[in-house]
Structure 1
Amino acid sequence: MFSDLSKAFGQTGDPAFRKVFFISTAISLVIFALLWGLAGYGVSFLDGMIAGWAESDGWITSVLVTVAEAISWIGVAFLSIMLFPSVMLIIIPFFLEDIAKAVEAKFYPELGEGRQPPVGETILGSIQFVGVTLLVNIIALPLYFIPLVNLFAFYLINGYLLGREYFEMVAQRRLVLGEAKLLRKQFSGRVIIAGFFLAFLLTVPILNIAMPIWATAFMLHRFERIRRDAM
């Protein structure tokens, strides 16, 4: 487990890893720049509504507008920080092949070319994963307000989801989906524990931006180890 993590972290400086990181980060920043632009229009619209509701241009209206703007922009900034890793989770699968090839070239040169999923399948899988993750976490939101329970719930839920998604994602380069699911279920404990490490990385500021890249490399190592054990 830790040796696989070490291998994933140790390859951070690999040109393929750097390329994927910079491209995916740039795409994410463009997406958020567009969202911030839309948020600006939204805040302006809100200012107009408040001014119309107050029906005056006095100091009370100015205070209300200022407070509303501050709350709105703080909310937008908070959501941007929280959702940035999620956007990266959507983008990274499109570069799965680049990361996988770099890992295999260094550690598993004996393996041939892996299966590359169609673009449509990748898009659908990414959206489904992020959608399910957000939905499950929203449902579990009340648990996150209970001390100690919140940590257990967060790591259990997201550890399972991340472990399942990343394992099946890298496994499908070598197996059909049915075989990948069967192998995951057969070694579910090891996959979930690997997912716990990914969930932890997701909660560490700054590091969580690169988490999807490390997660892909780490889970590829876990998959190859599990596949050998299953033989």
Structure 2
Amino acid sequence: MSLSYILLIYVAGVAVKESCADSDPTPTIVFSPDYINVATPVTVRCESPEGTECIFYRDHDPNPIGTVDYKQGACQFKLLWNEFKKWNKTEVDLSCVILQNREDKSIKTSKPSDARRLIVSDPIGKPSVHVEKIGNYLNLRCEAKAGTSCYFYLNNGDSHFIKLPYKDNVCVGRVAEEELQRKRSSAGEIFITCAVELVVVGEDTVTSQHSEPLGITIDGEKD
């Protein structure tokens, strides 16, 4: 093997090594959870093996939404609902780049991460109503995945006939059959729905859609 060939292999190896040293791994953007709503903020992370700080972008806009210091394999920040809603969007694409300070005082910038979509989820969902007739009373139950209070409505009316506190994914209470007899618009069968209100301190108040109506027959004559 000639000396010139050996030198060529050596030079090529050094070039590849320097090229690898100069290249940055592409960062990855991660959400936890992968949605946001009035009751649930999201932690946004830009992950990479090394770095000094990260710059975050929204919807491929060259103007960044923020810069965060790099710590323990990632940069991260918590995105709150009152900040997200300023964008007036139901979904956004977020991406990031990693900056790293070099020994020669220059700054190395990574390639942008792939954009990841963050969506708005319904914090309450569609509630379900349950009614059980016990003697002269109706036991009421409204189930939803989040809430502060529940409102029960008669025959799709605009005004609720009772408000109950929410606890452990449900509101429970009861109402006298006689009270509903005075409110009903037709004899015999009535229809009951419920809606759930969620109040978050410092944020918006959200009200769910109504549950599917539940029909039940009550006794007695309308006054």
Q: Settle same-fold status: TM greater than 0.5.
A: no
Task: Select the structure with the greater relative contact order (CA < 8 A; seq sep ≥ 6).
Answer: 1
Higher strand share: 2
Bigger Cα Rg: 2
| TM-score bracket for the superposition, by shorter chain length | under 0.3
Higher helix share: 1
> TM-score when scaled to structure 2?
0.23
TM-score (norm 1): 0.22
